[in-house]
Chain A
């Protein structure tokens, strides 16, 4: 059964005020198109969970979508401070919950596996444990030693972008695979956006590459270039210039508002956004192909 619907419909159908959202992707495949659509639809009071909030949550926070953030590294990757989230935190206007990367990802892994919590070895640095009551200790029943535990994270919605999927939502992704699979399995609903919709036969030609099966996916949305200024391995490059530019834009609330007006509210969808970026940017982000050696699954 096809789950193909436009992104506008997927967001209005599956993302609600007050939801906990996990927009997946560790630097790679960050689903900016869906984030912008959530902003356009004026969805409010969200809890935004991501290991690295990145520009996508900086923009969603600036647009007033968020009540709370859950994170493990709140910076502009490779640039410096994530100014808007940081300012809201410092001003006490935004709730937050903080983990280390391993703590954050262990929460998702527990959620994905249907477990109540996940143990981790101790790290000796206990200040975050003292600051966040969700980080606790239990005694290992086998050795009698203490381990650190974090509770399962089961978001209402995962948003995951992939290079290719079929109409049922069986998805191939490659390159940095971060926490897409864990986010999808942990969440109650999954919105999948894809660079390309392919025939089921393409998926079946390489089953080891299928990290997400269609039967846990709620909606499949064809959205080429959905990740800009992040990237999709083999499709287009990361726009480092924009990450630097955002550092400047986010210094001023007026500039942020003007940017949102022009690039989010001023366009109807990702297609229009991508065209608006222009030929020079398209050229700058183009990547030369570099194909893997084919593998032989055998005919049985």
Chain B
């Protein structure tokens, strides 16, 4: 019998997985996005095509990949292409439906910082890893999802450094910059879900069972707007937890946190 008490990570992964549609071509990252995609593939989206930044198309990993270039992604994949090809022919050309993003800071308009904390690029307070593929994924995937714990420091009014574009300064920003993708259509946190309103501002649209609007407001760095029709996310199911814990991450490397 699966223990139905779940961690914050499990809650976010399960809710992100539910947002994927069968047939989506997804640009997957290691860690939690990888679990969300593999969970979706084993539940409602068997035809999901998983693409990994290292150049692997249609991966079907037999074990939990521990890095973006894990050899388990290659064996049994549909195709393996060069890094230039994955970014040019697949992402820039518009062949990717979904991208997963994360970062140290996500601001009011869904812009992401994964580069530096502090405002002086040349003398950062904290140096973060940087863009990797995120800058292009955010710009060119048809739609993006962000998974991150709901904490004030992670959701400032404005990012210290814009590594990847959300809705820039607000409505119309993406179109003006000539970006092809829709941008971050949902931010899944451990409290609920934020989605952009018509101005591009991230707005609370759903709460997980047992969570409150006040918790979300208290943990957001800007005056968080709340949608008129608030939804409650569906309860986490035993099946979802069982697949995650028994099949995908049996030693709890990415599930245990939170």
Contact = CB atoms under 8 A, between A and B. Distances in A.
Interface of A: 26-28, 51-52, 71-75, 77-78, 81-82, 86, 89-90, 92, 98-103, 105-106, 108-109, 120-128, 131, 145, 174-179, 181-182, 231, 233, 237-238, 240, 243, 287, 290
B134 interface: yes
A179 B124 contact: no
Contacts of B31: 78
Contact of A82 (B91, B129, B165): B129
12 contacts: A73-B130, A98-B130, A101-B83, A102-B133, A106-B84, A121-B180, A123-B135, A124-B139, A126-B162, A127-B115, A145-B178, A176-B69
A237 B66 CA distance: 12
B140 interface: yes
B53 A101 contact: yes
A66 to B, nearest CB: 16
Given A123-B139, A290-B75, A178 B82 contact: yes
A122 B136 contact: no
Contact of A125 (B73, B92, B129, B135): B135
Contacts of B133: 73, 100-102
A24 to B, nearest CB: 10
Interface residues of B, number: 55
A100 B67 contact: no
A293 B156 CA distance: 53
A121 B30 contact: no
B83 A105 contact: yes
B106 to A, nearest CB: 13
Interface in B21-79: 30-31, 53-56, 66-71, 73-75
A122 B168 CA distance: 13
Contacts, number: 171
Contacts of A233: 71, 74
A125 B126 contact: no
Chain B residues touching A, majority SS: loop
A125 B80 contact: no
A51 B135 CA distance: 14
Nearest to A130: B121
Across chains A and B, which 7 residue pairs bring their CB atoms closest together, nearest first?
Answer: A27-B69, A124-B165, A78-B67, A75-B129, A73-B132, A124-B177, A123-B139
Given A27-B68, A125-B111, A127-B163, 20 more contacts: A27-B70, A73-B131, A74-B127, A100-B132, A100-B136, A101-B53, A101-B87, A105-B87, A109-B84, A121-B180, A123-B136, A125-B139, A145-B178, A176-B54, A176-B56, A176-B71, A182-B82, A238-B71, A287-B71, A290-B75
B188 to A, nearest CB: 21
Contacts of A26: 54-55, 68-69, 83
A128 B69 contact: no
A121 B54 contact: no
B243 interface: no
Nearest to A232: B71
B179 interface: yes
A233 B124 CA distance: 38
Interface in B116-132: 121-124, 126-127, 129-132
Interface of B: 30-31, 53-56, 66-71, 73-75, 80-84, 87-88, 91-92, 111, 115, 121-124, 126-127, 129-136, 138-140, 161-165, 168, 173-174, 177-180
Contacts of A28: 54, 69, 71
Contacts of B123: 92
A84 B135 CA distance: 25
A124 B168 contact: yes
A125 B178 contact: no
B244 to A, nearest CB: 18
Contacts of B67: 27, 77-78, 238, 240, 243
A90 B124 contact: yes
Contacts of B69: 26-28, 77, 176, 178, 238
Given A28-B71, A122-B177, A102 B129 contact: no
- Most B CB atoms within 10 A — which of A52, A99, A123? A123
Contacts of B80: 174-177
Given A27-B54, A77-B68, A175-B74, A128 B131 contact: yes
A127 B178 contact: no
A124 B74 contact: no
Contacts of B74: 175-176, 233
A127 B82 contact: no
A124 B130 contact: no
A179 B83 contact: yes
Contacts of A125: 111, 135, 138-139, 162-165
Contacts of B131: 72-73, 98-101, 128
Nearest to B81: A177
Contacts of A290: 75
B83 A51 contact: yes
A81 B128 CA distance: 8
